[in-house]
Amino acid sequence: AGIGKGQLKDNPLEALRQFGDPMMATVVGISLGFRKSVVLAGGTQMLAVSALLKALGEDLNRFMIATTKWVVNDRSATFLETAREIGIITYSADLDFSKSEFEGLRDYENGYVKEGVGAGGATWLAVKAGFSTEEVSEKVEELYRKLMKMKPSFEEGSR
């Protein structure tokens, strides 16, 4: 009962049911219901959402994926190539943590981390509001510093 390549190309909702996850179904549903421009904040999963929207007959001109350079530069994926094939516009946030005092943030630059938990979308919105990517990077560093100072409190509270 295996499904061959392209077998579900005319049935995108069945493909979603078989291979997607609840987040994808939710984003597709919200995107279909919202009739204005939509920024999909995320990485490769948003490529799948975009492909589903296109297969369902949506005009992708009102959609854009906002992600980070770490997703775009991930050698294990073909983000930009896939986005071009689908026909979706992309934005890549050029955050820079290479000089961070925190190893956890520097790990993004070293390729150990690419998950941005919406960092591309948040940065796109900040840039649209007039902030630079440098300012966003600095604010992330500041918030990270505050969280690290709270760390002992978290550990004490879990006992």
Q: State the average pLDDT over residues 149-159.
A: 62
Query: pLDDT, tens digit, for every residue of 30-49?
Result: 999 999 999 999 999 999 99
pLDDT at residue 2, as a whole number: 83
The domain locations on the chain are 12-157
CA 132 to chain centre: 19
Amino acid identity, position 145: R
3-class DSSP assignment, residue 38? strand
Reported as a pLDDT band with limits 50, 70 and 90, residue 55 is: very high
For the entire predicted model, the pTM comes to 0.86
C-alpha dihedral sign at 134, 75, 71, 85: positive
Q: How far apart are CA 151 and CA 157, in angstroms?
A: 10
Number of H helices, E strands in the chain: 8, 3
The CATH class, in words, for 12-157 is: alpha beta
Reported as a pLDDT band with limits 50, 70 and 90, residue 156 is: low
Q: How far apart are CA 157 and CA 69, in angstroms?
A: 36
157 pLDDT above the threshold of 60 = no
Percent of the chain with pLDDT over 90: 74
With CA atoms as reference, report the closest residue to 69 among 93, 46, 98, 42: 93
pLDDT at residue 117, as a whole number: 77
Query: pLDDT, tens digit, for every residue of 72-126?
Result: 999 888 999 999 999 999 999 999 999 999 999 999 999 888 876 789 999 999 9
pLDDT at residue 159, as a whole number: 47
